[in-house]
Every structure is written in structure tokens, then in C-alpha cells.
Structure 1
């Protein structure tokens, strides 16, 4: 349980759901420090306590911020790098918003809501990668963007969220191509249907017990964050399919 020994990570959307589970798993895997980011201060502080209890010797930094705001992104990166003495090995762009709920068709989609979804789900990952790259280039690192099947197929009613994930897929591919000759690798993961607050809000009529618990899909993220995956760059993974087994088999 030390695949991330000595590494420093920044995880957005980490007060609950997948982000929180990733932070807890990273702590158990020996990370030296984790910065967690979310908008809600109370939930974020609860998350910080959980993570710190899981790894008392690890640095846990909680940054209350809204990634849809460029000035908050500046503060997130500056605070994180200051706390970690300029070091960052892992960036997980997990923060996401579903937008209007129940989700309207595009014809009825409010413009401000549409913009907010794009700012959170697409512009924020672009800016975060851009801002942390100088700290990652020298020692190398792993950037993992959280995508969705709604970023591959346009579903009616998924509006701005799906469009933002289409954009994130293209953003990931472009960053990966431009960083091909560097020590920084970029991959993106579709975690599949999970029992999270956001998914319950998106599909209130569905049975959430049929969806995976976030802790069931963390293995591929840990693998991609670790040095074991150093040869994987510019690839898309589906956490609930056989991608993790294929990746580890190929690496072996």
C-alpha cells in the first residue's frame, strides 16, 4: 500500500463522492501530501478530518474555492505549491457540475447556467493544467481528467454537462499531444455510473443502488497516478470495464 509514496496530489471536487474516495485511497497509498478543493467549507473540513485520520503524518491541505472562477484557481495553485514547497506530482480534475436540474433540453437551457457548467467542467481543467505544469515538468507527473460517456455520445437532456465533457475529451487529447515529449502524462477516466449526489440529481427517477459506489472505481486512478503507469499517456479508460486489467496486464 505504498504506490504513491512521497507524492503530492491536488484533487478538485474532493469533499464527497469520487474525489473524497480518491483522497482517502491516495492517503492509504502513502502520498506525502494532498490538497483537496471544493466550494462548501463545512463538507470540505469534514473531508479533511477523515483524510487526516487515515494518514496522520501526511500533509492535508483544504482549499475552499470555486473552480469556475479564474481568481480562485490562481489561489488554489499558489496555496498548494506554497504548502508543498513547489512540488506537485498528481493533478486530478474531478470537480464537475451537472447544471440545471432537472436538466432541460438545449432549447430551454438558461445561458448563465450553460456558461457556469463550461467554466467548471472545461475551462477550470484547462486553467489548472496550465498553472501547475511548471511545477510538474522538471520531475514529471500525472494529470487525470474525469470524463463521462456523455462526452462520447450526445444524450437528450444532458445539455451543457455532456457538451462540457465532449470538450474535456478534446482538451485531454490536445494536452496529451502537446506534452508528448515531456515527463508529464495526461490520461482521462470515465468512472461510469456512480451513486453520488450529482448523479442522483441528474437522474432522480433512477435507482441509485444500481450504481457503483465511488470506492469501487478508484483502482485505475491509483494506477495512473503511480509510477507503474509511466508508459501510459494520452489514453481514455473506463473504470468499470476491463481497462484496468488490460492496462496492468500490458504494463507487466
Structure 2
């Protein structure tokens, strides 16, 4: 019987995805990680070694997603899917009245359609292994921040998609997780020219995310603060 724990993480070449992949590999997991930039993905693969399987491509591309499905099916089991890849949209962030609809469609393709597509193909595998699905959300999906209409509305849609999937699959653990502000390239792009060094690093968020995955509360939307302590829920 195969007891190796396997995870699929999108957007694994930077930010929270990379930090989570590193910790899971350290704990003995095998991680299939996707990313769009070959240099970054190769660097992560070199750092993490044989526990990390890089798969170069854009998660918005159906051909890439089909390849991912083939790879995880070949593993024999899948214990965790984390839809972490996100598109911010234009930078500086435009008001909705000025938002390019073509760019908005691109944001939705990455932030809403792609996560659903990934889960459509992997839910049977997760069900067979009593696995966990996590969609990375944002407070911009809840709060109406000026300039964040494109990204924020896509995350609001992702939250609702996650909630409905959970209602339709009550035997599975399906979560939306809001990590809060982090010191990442995407967050810097949202605030061009500003100093964001006061934001926490993605590595500091990983413990809270892992507590969600390990403690497996009822399927719902959670924030980093909900799992900020070691206390058992």
C-alpha cells in the first residue's frame, strides 16, 4: 500500500506556494509544484531535491492542467491540493470604471476558472485518500478596497465556489484560506514604489495553513488569525 503523502500546489515557484512546498518536502511529502517561470521553478527544484516535482506551465492553460492531472493520477494517491496561483491584474491597480475587460477576463481565468478546473479533475483522487483542498483567498474578496475590484471580485467568486463545492461534497475537507498581507512580489506590484517590508513573510503564514490542513475543521472560509496559535481547535 502506498503511504507516501502527495500534494499538488499551484504557484509553487514563489511566495506562499514556495514556502508551503518547502515545509511539506521537509516533512517527507512529495510535492508536484507548478509555476510559469522556468528559472524560478528550476531554482525551487534544486533547493528542495527529489521531493519536489516541477511542472512548468500556466495554470490558466487547459493543456497544462490536463498534464497536471496525468501526473497526479500516476502518483497513485493525492492527499492535498492547494490552489495558490493568482493573477493580480494591472499594476498600478485601476478603478473598475477604467478596468480593461480583457485583463479582467484573464484575472478570472486564473483566479476562478483554473482552481475549479483543477478541483474538478482532482476531487475523485482526494476523495479516495480522504484528502484536503485549499483555495487561497484574500481579504480583498470581502472588503471593498478601491482599486481592488478586479482581483477582489475574483477572490469573492472563489470563496463562493469553494463554499458550494464543500456543500456538494460534504465528506471532503474543502477550505478557502485568507493568509493576509504578505511580503511578496504580487503584493509589491499592488503597491508600486511603496515599502512593504513591514508585511510578514510567506514563511510565517505556513504554520497557520498547516494547522488548518492537519486539524481539518468543518469546511468553511478561514483566515490566518483563526489558526495563529498552537491550541487544538
Q: TM-score, normalised by structure 1?
A: 0.87
Contact 2:60/2:114 (<8 A) preserved: yes
Change (3 A) 1:41 1:80: farther
1:29-65 C-alpha deviation (Å, 9 max, x unpaired): 221x11000111111111111111xxx5x3x211111
* Counterpart pick for 2:178 among 190, 197, 205: 190
Structure 1: 5+ residue stretches without partners: none
What is aligned with 2:85?
95
Alignment partners' CA distance in 1, 2:184 and 2:25:
21
* Counterpart pick for 1:39 among 17, 36, 41: 36
The reply on whether 1:235 has 2:217 as its aligned counterpart is no
Contact 2:212/2:227 (<8 A) preserved: no
* Counterpart pick for 2:61 among 69, 74, 84: 69
1:148-168 C-alpha deviation (Å, 9 max, x unpaired): 000111211112101100001
What is aligned with 1:48?
45
* Counterpart pick for 2:208 among 197, 220, 235: 220
1:78-134 C-alpha deviation (Å, 9 max, x unpaired): 12322x1x3110000000010111111111111111001000011111111110011
| Matching of residues 86-235 of structure 1 within 5 Å | 86-180=76-170, 182=171, 184-226=172-214, 229-230=215-216, 232-235=217-220
Change (3 A) 1:51 1:173: same
Q: CA deviation at 1:233?
A: 2.6
What secondary structure does 1:107 align onto? Answer: helix
Structure 2: 5+ residue stretches without partners: none
Residues paired across the two proteins, number: 231
Aligned Cα root-mean-square deviation (Å): 1.6
